Amino acid sequence: MFTFTPAENYLDNKTILITGASDGIGKTTALTLARFGANLILLGRDQEKLEGVYDEIEAISPGKAVIHPMDFANASFEDYKTLASSLDEHFPQLDGLIHNAALLGARTPIEFYPEQEWDRLMQVNVNAPFYLTKVLLPALTRSDDARVLFISSSVGRQGRAHWGGYAVSKFALEGLMQTLADEVCNTTSIKINSLNPGGTRTAMRRAAYPAEDPSTQPAADELMPVYHYLFSAQGGHIHGQALNARDFDPSEFQAK
């Protein structure tokens, strides 16, 4: 796994929004970035879990986090605009956006995939990142060094039988990343990438592979050096890339 130790408090005065922050990789990301001084906006559908993460961050870095319970499956575009307006009132700019939230959905052939579940999964995994990015782009543009990270999957880069809506949604996310990265590369300082974490010891992984021994997969905190690099000054030359946490090597990308 990639190793990188960022400067202490390298995220001071940086504001980063994380979706799916109540559990799994999203929670670990929030706790990790809090230790390095970030102001955090934490989105998730489970208010009780979000409050638990908030309490943990308060113990690490008091006054640095706010929570915003939001169920992407039922949120309207007006809800996203309201969120953006609220953030504009409290923060001068947004320096980071991590699209971590996702549903696994049914593991079944396309022929038998439940239509309602397909619609719900696309709402959470595809529409929500689109809506959220759309309304937050002005705030990201106001930053002089913003980063957007779409959390992807290996099945969103090479189709695999029985992964249904999850795989298709991650393919769509890759397309959104590439399109957006090409659009902003000459007009803003925003750097946009996708990251495939690989198999990780999370509840979603257990749901997908119930017979697997969880100890055979790395814990989420082992991925964090990659996140640190991508949000640090050193990672500013990486843009529009489909990255893999397991074999991440920043030397592959030529600095501009």
Instruction: Verify whether residue 54 is a known catalytic residue.
Output: no
Asked if 44 contacts 20 with a C-beta cutoff of 8 angstroms, the reply is: yes
For residue range 93-134, list pLDDT tens digits in order: 999 999 999 999 999 999 999 999 999 999 999 999 999 999
Q: Tokens 């749901």 correspond to what residue? A: 207
Mean of pLDDT values over 22-48? 96
- Tell me what pLDDT residue 200 has: 61
Q: Which of 54, 131, 166, 227 is catalytic?
A: 166
**CA pair distance 83, 251, nearest whole angstrom:** 37
Q: In order of start, what are the domains of the chain with their CATH numbers?
A: 15-247 (3.40.50.720)
Q: Residue 193: pLDDT above 50?
A: yes
Residue 214 has pLDDT above 80, yes or no: no
pLDDT of residue 201: 59
Written as one letter, the residue type at 209 is: Y
The pLDDT-based confidence of 256 (bands split at 50, 70, 90) is: very low
Determine contact, residues 70/79, Cβ cutoff 8 Å: yes
Instruction: Name the phi and psi angles at 253, rounded to 5.
Output: -110, 120
Chain segment 167-187, per-residue pLDDT in tens: 999 999 999 999 999 999 999
Exposure string over 185-211, b if 16+ CB within 10 A, otherwise e = eeebebbbbbbbbbbbbbebbeeeeee
Give the per-residue pLDDT at 219: 76
Q: Do 106 and 114 contact (CB within 8 A), yes or no?
A: yes
